[in-house]
Every structure is written in C-alpha cells, then in structure tokens.
Amino acid sequence: MLTTILYIILAILILTTLYVVVRTIIFQWSYGSVEKIEGIAVDEGVVAEHLAAAVRCQTVPLDDKGTPAPEAFQQLHQMLEETYPLVHQKLKREVVNSYSLLYTWQGSRPDLEPVMLMAHQDVVSADPATLSAWTHPPFEGRIVEGFIWGRGTLDIKNQLIGIMEAAEMLLRQGYRPERTILFGLGHDEETGGVNGCKVMGQLLKERGIHLAGIVDEGGGIMEGLMAGARGPIALVGASEKGYLTVEFTVNSQPGHSSTPPPQTSIGILAQALARLEAHPMPTHLRRLRPMYRGIGRAAPLTIQIAFANVWLFGPLLKRWLVPIPEMNASMRTTTALTIINGGVEDNTIPAEAKAIVNFRLLPGDTIADVLWHVKKVIKDERVKFKPVEGKFNEALPVSATNVPAYHGLRQVIRQVFDNPPVAPFVMLGGTDCQHFVPVCDNIYRFTSLVMDESFRGLEHGIDERIPIEGMAKMVKFYAQLMQVWGTRGMTASVERNKK
C-alpha cells in the first residue's frame, strides 16, 4: 500500500517536472537573429551641432497649462527649415494649432495606410534653484566630452532631430517610401498634449486617416536597469497605464476639543486612507509574462522557468517582485495618497477633512473597477469620494505584438543595435501618442537609445545630456525604420538583411 502511494507521488513529481520543462522550452522560443546592418553613414559632429541648436530654442511652457512661448517655437521652426531644406521642399508641412507640426512624406502607394513617427518640441523648465548644479547651463547646447548637454537632449529633442536628420539624409539619397510617412511633432506633451497632439489626432480622424503604426518616445535599450535581466534589453511600450485622482471628504459635527467625539472627521478619514493603503488592487503577474518572454534567455534560467510556469511559481515571483516599486507598478493598479487637509485650530474639532489619492490603472482595470474596490475596502458611509474633474483617463489598449508593424520595429531595433532581445512593457507614465488611439491600433513607445545606470534621473533633472555616439545611432535607427516601415509589408525582406 505504502509503496503504491510512493509510486503515485513519484509519478506526479516526474510529470510535473516534465510539464515545467516543456513549458520553459516553449516559453524560450526565440525568433532567430537578424544580421546587423551598418546603416546610413552619419556625421556625428554635424548631428550634434543640430541637436545643440534645437536645445538653444527654449521651448519651455510659460505656465502649468502649457501656454507656449511664441518666439521660442518660431525659433525652433526656423531652425528646422534652415537645417533640413529637402524635408521642407519635398514633404508637406502643416502647422496645427499655431505650434504643433505635421509633416507628410507622400508614399508612392496611396492605397497603403500611413505610419507616423512622433516627438514633441516642448521641454520642461530647469528649476532656477538648481541652475548652479548644472555642469553646463541647460539652454546653451554645449558639446563637451563626447556629450551634447542641455534640456531636451533626452526628452525628446534627440528624437525630433533624429527623425528630421534621417529624413533629410534619405531624401538626399533619392529615397521615396511606398507607404506615406507622417511626422507628428506636438508642442505641449509635458502638459498633457491637449492643444497639440489631441488636435492633431482629431484632424487625422476628420480626414478619415487610419494609421498602420506609430512610434513615439518611451522605453529604450536598457542595460542593467531591469530586475532579472542581463545585458541590453530593448523595451517597447505597448500600452500606457490609466490615471485616476479621487477626492475623499469626511464631514462631521464641529466643536471644542475639550469634549471630543470618539472619532473626528480626521480620524475617520485617516482610517479609510490607512485601509486603502493596506489593501491595494490585486496584482496581475501574467501581465509581465510577455515582457519576460521577450527577454527570453537574457533572464537567468530560474526566472525563465518561473515565468513559464506562473501556475506553479506565481507566489514566489510575487514575493520577489512586489517590493521592487517599478515591477509592482507594472503588474497592478497602484494607490498613492498624495494630499491631505483638515483642521485649522489646535483646540477645535474640524468640520471637514479632505484627501486626494492618485491611482494608476493597469490595462484591464477600469475606473469603475477602482471605484468599486475603494468602496469595498473603506466600508464606511461617512467617507464620501468622487473622481476629480479632468483628472482621470482609462488605461490605453495594449498594442499587438503579432502584427507586421511590431515585427518590423523589432527587426529594425535588432539590426541597428546588434540583436538585443526585444520585449513589450506597460509604460507607467503618459505620452502624446495617447491622442492617436482613435486612429491607430499599433502604437509603440520606443526611444532608440542605449541607457544604463548613468542615465538615471537625467530626464527632467540636472545635467540632462546624451552621448554624441548615441545620438548618431538614433539617426541610423530612424533611417532604417523609415525604409522598413515605408514598405508595403512593413518588414525588411531577407535579401535586404543580407546587404
């Protein structure tokens, strides 16, 4: 009897192990390597000068509503016209809502859906209190020690110049795409893009244009910046988290603090907030699977086995990933208590206490889901809550990774950057491309730059700068992407790879 039980246990163990191994092998399925290309010949010094000139145009919003400084944008527009004469000769240029730019590079096959490459012209300001900490002033566009220094060199004038430069060079070579290529260059991304790309998105919709693919800022080639991955990994944002700010209010009888009730409005609110923090929305580990699958063998075998078998190792993975803020935010809707207000006098029971909580929604969770969760967790009728006007949007749809647009993009990344693994991920912040969801299903957020630990905190921070070499590579990337996405199939042919 005992031996029979032992045999059964042994059989279960063997079968489970086999199942785990098979799943891991399937999970590791690789898409083969592509041949590295030399790409278009780029004069690094010239490109660096062009980016530096763009940095000198101080396209900083005048207020938090994103009101543009007209002279700065005129200066930038003029700089683009003078620097890229062929682009301005051969492409149609439209000014949208005074400052945003929409370029149309007409393809030879008007029956094909166009693609769009994006960047924004505006940059965040440089905090006056930190100016003395900058090695080189933020708006002088200095080129020193192999870097181009200044605000916008990483976010995202590098991409703006990369697109323009690549187009100018291809035009010089006489290239014409089959598929129409648009350049969408917004002017108020840092303040939500409502006057720039939102208007541009509506314009395309009115014209009945549907796009086959978009590449905007986001992601990049990460070296040593991701938990459980070795070597460079190309991360492509396939979706963006949603946004929801909720206001909580508790009203109670005001009075003297010498004879307090058992709980004041502050106590009631604090209790509700503590519950919210203690009970976040559930994690969805499976949302991370496509990313770890894309990373494949760049992850240690243990992690590959675990992600191939979430059914078995899910709890272990959660224990590892939840304490890492970026990973936690990548697999659940997050809860952040950000503002609290209540009371004016030390001896007075306040009539009202208020708090603001900011949620970032994982694709799959809706605003209604979060509000239902809040109600269920707080379980207190005395706490009133409602979304703050204008401060909510649902998570964006997840763009597919089994379509030609993604295959072509992945191919170009691997050609230009020597075959890094390419994996989709969910962007934690928002970008301008959200305004094109009504006209495009294949939206990818990818900045073609290799970034390591030394890049941490530079975007929007002090000493923003880009290596000249990285900037030149960006031009190669765009030139290759224009040639690959510019074809009917949106992927490079094998013959082309061999060249």
Question: Which residues here bind Zn ion, judged by CB under 5 A?
Answer: 155-156, 217
Q: Which is nearer to Zn ion, 155 or 464 (CB)?
A: 155
Q: Quick one: 119 or 481, whose CB is closer to Zn ion?
A: 119
Take residue 369 and report the two structure tokens written for it: 């889901």
Residue closer to Zn ion by CB (options 141, 421) is: 141
For the bound state, the minimum distance from the C-beta of residue 387 to Zn ion, rounded and expressed in Å, comes to 26
Beta carbon nearer to Zn ion, 178 or 459: 459
Contacts of 398 (CB under 8 A, 6+ apart): 238, 239, 363, 424, 426
Q: Which candidate in 168, 188, 189, 216 is catalytic?
A: 189
- Minimal distance, residue 160 CB to Zn ion, in Å: 10
CA distances from 367 to 242, 338, 364, 436, 498 (A): 8, 18, 10, 21, 49
Nearer to Zn ion by Cβ, of 156 and 412: the residue is 156
CA 437 to chain centre: 14
Nearer to Zn ion among residue 155 and residue 165 (C-beta) = 155
Nearest to 409 by CA among 439, 205, 400, 435: 400
Enter the tokens of residue 243: 């946004």
Comparison of 55 and 370: residue with beta carbon closer to Zn ion: 55
- Smallest Cα–Cα separation from 145: which of 465, 476, 473? 465
Of the candidates 25, 35, 19, 33, which has an alpha carbon nearest to the alpha carbon of residue 497? 35
CB of residue 123 to Zn ion, shortest distance in Å: 8
Active site residue 189: yes
For residues 38-52, one letter each, b for 16 or more C-beta atoms within 10 angstroms of the residue's C-beta and e for the rest, the string is ebbebeeeebbebbb
**Closer residue to Zn ion (CB): 149 or 292:** 149
Determine which one of 122, 165, 188, 223 is catalytic: 122
Q: Hey, how many other C-beta atoms are within 10 angstroms of the C-beta on 484?
A: 23
As measured in angstroms, the least distance from the Cβ of 189 to Zn ion is: 5
- Which residues are within 8 A (CB) of 314 and not within 5 positions of it... i.e. 6 or more apart? 285
Task: State the minimum distance, in angstroms, from the CB of residue 156 to Zn ion.
Answer: 4
C-alpha to C-alpha distances, 196 to 183, 192, 243, nearest whole angstrom: 13, 9, 20
Distance of closest approach, residue 57 Cβ to Zn ion, in angstroms: 16
* Burial class (CB within 10 angstroms; exposed 0-12, middle 13-18, buried 19+) of 125: middle
Tokens of 423: 């994996």
- Minimum distance of Zn ion from residue 237's CB (angstroms): 12
Kindly state the smallest distance separating residue 70's Cβ from Zn ion, in Å: 21
Residues acting as catalytic residues = 122, 189
